[in-house]
Structures are given as C-alpha cells and as structure tokens.
Amino acid sequence: MKKTPLRRCGKIGKANIEANKRIKEVFENTNIRSCEIKMEGCLGNWTLAFCHRHPRLWYNGDVEKLSDYKQVIIGCVSCHEKIDRDNDLLEKVFNKLRGKE
C-alpha cells in the first residue's frame, strides 16, 4: 500500500469544522438532543447528524450561514436521507421547524 501524507484542510473544510463547533454549542444551549424530523422509521437519538437547508457548497464556506440556527436541524440518518432526496419535503420540514428563510 502506498503511503502518502494526508491532504491539508482547505478554506471550506476549516469553515465546516468551525461551523460544526458553533452548531454543537447552539444545540447544547437549546437542549435539543434527538431527531427533530421524526418521520416513519425514525431512529430517535441514534446516529444523529446536522441537516442543512441547502447543500454545504451553497454556503460557500460562510461560517455564519453554516452555523445559523434557521439553516440547521438535527436528524437521525434515516430521516436525514429521506429529506435529502426530496427538496419539497426538505423545505416543508424546515418551514415547519424553523420558519421561512
């Protein structure tokens, strides 16, 4: 196996890391610790991930937008995959939980 050094983290990667730190703080303060989406087949508080309103590339490395409470919800992997596949459902869920953009 060829051994090569790991690639350095770029501007967008650093922005994602910083945004994740801020998002964790926000959700710790709001006391949300389980899936907010709660669709059929929901896993509750198991395998949670941050779900963004838009694909991460849309935010173009802007830490403020990436970590904005209105742009992020917490979802289990099952629910996250369901809303990621359907843009209409994604908007419906975000509008219900966080209001219009």
User: Tell me: the pLDDT tens digits for 63-94?
Assistant: 999 999 999 999 999 999 999 999 999 999 99
Kindly report the average pLDDT of the chain as a whole number. Answer: 91
In a domain? residue 30: yes
Number of domains in the chain: 1
Is the confidence at residue 98, as pLDDT, over 70?
A: yes
In a domain? residue 45: yes
In a domain? residue 85: yes
pLDDT at 51: 95
Q: Measuring CA to CA, which residue among 54, 50, 48, 43 is closest to residue 73?
A: 50
Is the confidence at residue 6, as pLDDT, over 90?
A: no
Please name the amino acid found at residue 94: F
Letter string b/e over residues 62-95, b meaning 16 or more CB atoms within 10 A of that residue's CB: ebebbbbeebbbbbbebbbebbeeeeeebeebbe
Is the confidence at residue 101, as pLDDT, over 70?
A: no
Q: pLDDT band at 7, cuts 50/70/90? A: confident
In a domain? residue 87: yes
In a domain? residue 23: yes
In a domain? residue 2: no
Residue 93: which domain range?
A: 11-98
The alpha carbon of 88 is separated from its chain's Cα centroid by a whole number of angstroms, namely 17
Write down the pTM of the prediction.
0.83
In a domain? residue 49: yes
In a domain? residue 25: yes
Is the confidence at residue 33, as pLDDT, over 80?
A: yes
